[in-house]
Chain A
Amino acid sequence: MPALTVENLSKTFPRSRPLFGKAAPGVRAVRPMSFTVEQGETLGIVGESGCGKSTLARMLVGLLPPSEGEIVIDGQAPGKGDPTEFGKLIQYVFQDPNSSLNPRKTIRQVMEAPLKHLHHLPADQRDARIREIFATVSLRESFLDRYPHEFSGGQAQRIGIARALAADPRIIVLDEPVSALDVSVQAQVLNLLAGLKARLGLTYLFISHDLAVVEAVSDRVMVLYFGSVVEIGRADSIFAHPRHPYTRLLANSAPVVGRPLTAPEQKGTELPDPLNPPPGCAFAGRCPKATEICRTDIPQLRDMGEDQRAACHHPND
């Protein structure tokens, strides 16, 4: 049984109705998408701003009710957009570690909340459990009675991870967990996450804009563009052999030591207007291989070689 199955999940944000006439069609932040994540797997999700990765993440943890589609976690389908039902199955680690901690609560109060409200543990057991979790993420117990502003970004992110673990979930969604951290601290958190996964048998969804980080931590990678999955495949091959031109563009854009500086594309880099989406492939306007069919028909995800699927009319070889 897969850890997570997503079926035709989509999100459309309605636009406010004008005084006269019908409401304009909403903005589709996430177009219908389906994917599965196996037990113990790490699925990396990459994409640039406006690709819908945060909306997707918020739907997966129940913070945002989906417009359509199903989310099945560990064989259970929690109610739509009800974080308390989701909480025990799936947890979230936020991008900005400081803003995810209430400045007026001690770390102990923060840690107690999931134990109290999700697992209804009595006070004495809570204390033992918190100490156990803190030991797991190698945080000092003396931190428990301090306030969030006393911690550095890396420490705060560890606390965020500890809080997610307190709910004892099967899956953790990691939304850009290291992008607010300095590069010398990034790996501390990433290595901690890897260790936890092995020890606790967790499943991760790792969202990031940094391809190199995603490649280093993921089993499979899913590339999003303009609210759709454009490519999904094994982490060790997807950037080396991208099928979708957008994946290739991403891979070529990442600054790499030793590669001479050339702009990988000369055309505009604008995303399509979300209020007025193009009828065909959303990437057609930037794509060097685009033809007539790309501007009229939306390409569907199809198998392209072993463990790789891409949504493109003219995939790379």
Chain B
Amino acid sequence: MTRFLKLLFRNRLAGIGAVVMGLILALVILTPVLPLQDPYATDLGARFKGALQDGHILGTDHLGRDQLSRLLWGTQLSLLVGLASAFAAALIGSTIGVIAGYFGGRTDNLIMRAVDMVMAFPYILLALAIVAALGPGLLNALIAVAAVNVPFFARNIRGIVVTLAGREFVDAARLAGMGHTRIILTEIVPNVLPVIVIAMSTTIGWMILETAGLSFLGLGSQPPQADLGSMLGEARAALITHPFTSVVPGVMIFLIVMSINLLGDGVRDALDPRLKSGALSRPLPVTTVGREGPIPAATDDLLAVQDLHTQFHAGSRIFRAVGGVDLAVRPGECLGIIGESGSGKSVTALSITRLVASPPGVITGGAVRFREADMIGASYEELRQIRGDKVAYIFQDPLSTLHPLYRIGDQLAEAIRVHHKVPKDELRKRAITLLKDVRIPNAESRVDNYPHEMSGGMRQRVGIAMALANEPDVIIADEPTTALDVTVQAQILALLNDLRREKGLAIVFITHDFGVVAQLCDRVAVMYAGRIVETGPTQAILDAPAHPYAKRLIACVPELGHGRRELAAIPGLPPAVDDLPPGCAFAPRCDKASASCCEGDVPLIGTPPRAVRCLYPEENV
């Protein structure tokens, strides 16, 4: 709870909202004991007094009644009615939504049809019809406002529950012998409760406005009783001659609704787990750079990564995803980067043209040089001209990486057009040629397909075609076959291999699969906890790995054709990159580690092309 409040008040506006709301609530609670004048006592001799006249702090209204007293009593009434209708709508709507979403099928169908029917009305028509039927009055207005908001909750909550009901922990609960009621109450409801609270906090303000609106129209509270809406409605007749009478209740409604909205935003932000991790920020077009220390000198490699450091800053925690990586690629060469999840291999790949999502990513050191020019220090426009033209990417999941609403031909054409002036019909021809290059059958008709009309393997071919569009010098392939079935993977790998030989491409291939590395890459770099622990020619490393981690990781890979057996494992877990141990990050899991492994930095040493970051390597390199 204190954590919730802390999160809530991190949003300064929410704090302001809470203070204003607190003041209003305090006033409303104190209203019965405050020395106020009778809100119903009329005095026709003292009509439309201004503020601070004759002991009326906020003046009087058209019947000479004390405005301050009426305002406070009216505020109390408005708040009560608004809250009551919000709770009623949330309770009924959420119940409907949970039931429809959990049971699905026919129940869901029937309930949601009815909800849709109610939603087919512009909401005020329904409210007006209900008030027309029940007769004007505050309670009826309350019922009307609650009723028209029920579908809103029902729909929202149902959507969430449908996803929850499909989650595996609900299946697990069923297998544990729990009945439907119990599952709904103990598995589903605790997980939708934050959503209900968010939905409520963002709609209470709205419902207060609505009830005030009905009263404003004369359909809510009936005289002499008055909520803020009817005060405003009554004052409207004298708007031009005595505007002050209108301003008082109007400003009060505004203050209430605004403070509730501010508070509601704060609640939403505090309860939304995505916001905590900073995941709701929009990534900038290029990764932020905050380099400390000297910038390494240029080399004559085609592409060189030099002492690269990339971090993620989330609140006070710093994740050192990449902690000083050096790589170099020559033309026509395929370099593999292999590592497990969290090893920093993908972040290294994305850092090359500064595609790491930022915030939270920051490049804090080193350089990436393409033909000697430093891309980390380059301007956006310089970088843009290299991206896709000189250095192109192939990403992991071909469904999410292609734009769902553009035809693949247009996406291919765009890749060319943003770098080169090419006439339109020529663009289409090139797109078809590209599709043929990646062996897509019927390229002439496929070019007009949308991504969802293709299979995963075909989409990844499109992804490759897009990377090839401008005949780049380097292709960076970030786990391009991980999301694919094994038979499709084999085809894609063979295609990449053919293409690189045909076109003399340099490829940086990121993967977690030793089998893939062995088949495709000339050289390989093994990453662990953000650093390269071993690098060298693929065959040499596979035959005689020098780093204990590389050796044991290779031993873990199950290979087909060895029959039933015990598989090797590495005990323990990789370290969290926000809390790296000093010295060798692998030491806690390593059976060769000694005290010296945990003291100070272990350098990457060896005779080129091999190098290893270990004090007690398995082999001398």
Q: Do chains A and B touch in the complex (CB under 8 A)?
A: yes
CB-CB nearest in chain B for A239: B560
Which residues of chain A have C-beta atoms less than 8 A from B559's C-beta? 212, 256-257
Minimum distance in angstroms from B158 CB to a CB of chain A: 18
How far is A167 from B174 in the complex, measured between Cα atoms in Å? 12
How far is A101 from B169 in the complex, measured between Cα atoms in Å? 5
Which residues of chain A have C-beta atoms less than 8 A from B542's C-beta? 257
Which residues of chain B have C-beta atoms less than 8 A from A182's C-beta? 340-341, 512, 574
Minimum distance in angstroms from A268 CB to a CB of chain B: 6
Contact B173 A261 (CB under 8 A): no
Which residues of chain A have C-beta atoms less than 8 A from B470's C-beta? none
How far is A217 from B565 in the complex, measured between Cα atoms in Å? 7
Contact A96 B168 (CB under 8 A): yes
Which residues of chain B have C-beta atoms less than 8 A from A183's C-beta? 340, 512, 553, 556-557
Minimum distance in angstroms from B321 CB to a CB of chain A: 16
Indicate whether A308 reaches chain B with its CB closer than 8 angstroms. Answer: no
Contact A184 B169 (CB under 8 A): no
Which residues of chain A have C-beta atoms less than 8 A from B512's C-beta? 182-183
A-B interface contact total, Cβ < 8 Å: 207
Indicate whether A277 reaches chain B with its CB closer than 8 angstroms. Answer: no
**Majority-rule SS of B interface residues:** helix
Contact B567 A113 (CB under 8 A): no
Contact B340 A184 (CB under 8 A): yes
**In residues 101-152 of chain A, which contact B (Cβ within 8 Å)?**
101-105, 110, 113-114, 116-118, 152
**In residues 256-278 of chain A, which contact B (Cβ within 8 Å)?**
256-265, 268-271
Contact A258 B486 (CB under 8 A): no
How far is A145 from B205 in the complex, measured between Cα atoms in Å? 39
Which residues of chain B have C-beta atoms less than 8 A from A217's C-beta? 564
Minimum distance in angstroms from B333 CB to a CB of chain A: 16
Indicate whether A191 reaches chain B with its CB closer than 8 angstroms. Answer: yes
Contact B175 A87 (CB under 8 A): yes
Contact B518 A255 (CB under 8 A): yes
Which residues of chain B have C-beta atoms less than 8 A from A287's C-beta? none
How far is A209 from B340 in the complex, measured between Cα atoms in Å? 19
Contact A187 B568 (CB under 8 A): yes
**In residues 339-368 of chain B, which contact A (Cβ within 8 Å)?**
340-341
Could you give, for residues 39-71 of chain A, a 1 whenever the CB lies within 8 Å of some chain B CB and a 0 otherwise? 000000000110000000010011100000000
Which residues of chain A have C-beta atoms less than 8 A from B518's C-beta? 255-258
Contact B177 A211 (CB under 8 A): no
Which residues of chain A have C-beta atoms less than 8 A from B568's C-beta? 187
Minimum distance in angstroms from B106 CB to a CB of chain A: 12
Size bin of chain B's contact surface: 35 or more
**Highest count of chain A CB atoms <10 Å: which of B175, B178, B179:** B175
Contact B556 A114 (CB under 8 A): no
Which residues of chain A have C-beta atoms less than 8 A from B561's C-beta? 215, 239-240, 256
Indicate whether B40 reaches chain A with its CB closer than 8 angstroms. Answer: no
Indicate whether A94 reaches chain B with its CB closer than 8 angstroms. Answer: yes
Instruction: Given A184-B569, A254-B560, decide whether A263 and B491 contact each other with a Cβ distance below 8 A.
Output: yes
How far is A114 from B172 in the complex, measured between Cα atoms in Å? 9
How far is A100 from B176 in the complex, measured between Cα atoms in Å? 12
CB-CB nearest in chain A for B170: A102
Among A84, A99, A190, A218, the residue within 8 A (CB) of B167 is A99
Indicate whether B516 reaches chain A with its CB closer than 8 angstroms. Answer: yes
Which residues of chain A have C-beta atoms less than 8 A from B564's C-beta? 215-219, 235-236
Indicate whether B494 reaches chain A with its CB closer than 8 angstroms. Answer: yes
Indicate whether B31 reaches chain A with its CB closer than 8 angstroms. Answer: no
Which residues of chain A have C-beta atoms less than 8 A from B488's C-beta? 269
Indicate whether A298 reaches chain B with its CB closer than 8 angstroms. Answer: no
**In residues 142-184 of chain A, which contact B (Cβ within 8 Å)?**
152, 154, 160, 163, 166-167, 182-184
Could you give, for residues 266-303 of chain A, a 1 whenever the CB lies within 8 Å of some chain B CB and a 0 otherwise? 00111100000000000000000000000000000000
Minimum distance in angstroms from B107 CB to a CB of chain A: 16
How far is A260 from B167 in the complex, measured between Cα atoms in Å? 41
Indicate whether B571 reaches chain A with its CB closer than 8 angstroms. Answer: yes
**In residues 199-245 of chain A, which contact B (Cβ within 8 Å)?**
209-213, 215-219, 235-236, 239-240
Contact A216 B513 (CB under 8 A): no
Contact B573 A154 (CB under 8 A): yes
Which residues of chain B have C-beta atoms less than 8 A from A94's C-beta? 168, 171-172
Indicate whether B315 reaches chain A with its CB closer than 8 angstroms. Answer: no
Contact A186 B556 (CB under 8 A): yes
Indicate whether B122 reaches chain A with its CB closer than 8 angstroms. Answer: no
Among B175, B457, B563, the residue within 8 A (CB) of A92 is B175
Minimum distance in angstroms from A85 CB to a CB of chain B: 9
**In residues 75-90 of chain A, which contact B (Cβ within 8 Å)?**
83-84, 86-88
Which residues of chain A have C-beta atoms less than 8 A from B175's C-beta? 61-63, 83, 86-87, 91-92, 114, 167
Among B173, B458, B490, B513, the residue within 8 A (CB) of A113 is B173
Minimum distance in angstroms from A230 CB to a CB of chain B: 13
Indicate whether B22 reaches chain A with its CB closer than 8 angstroms. Answer: no
Which residues of chain A have C-beta atoms less than 8 A from B519's C-beta? 255-257, 259-261
Beyond the given pairs A216-B567, A253-B490, 12 more chain A to chain B contacts, judged by CB atoms under 8 angstroms and listed by A's residue number, are A62-B175, A87-B175, A91-B175, A99-B168, A101-B172, A102-B191, A104-B190, A105-B186, A114-B176, A213-B558, A216-B563, A263-B494
User: What 7 pairs across the A-B complex have the smallest Cβ distances?
Assistant: A255-B515, A187-B569, A117-B177, A263-B494, A212-B558, A48-B485, A187-B567
Q: Please, could you name 9 A-B residue pairs with CB atoms under 8 Å apart, sorted by A?
A: A86-B175, A94-B171, A95-B168, A105-B187, A152-B573, A182-B341, A215-B560, A217-B564, A255-B519
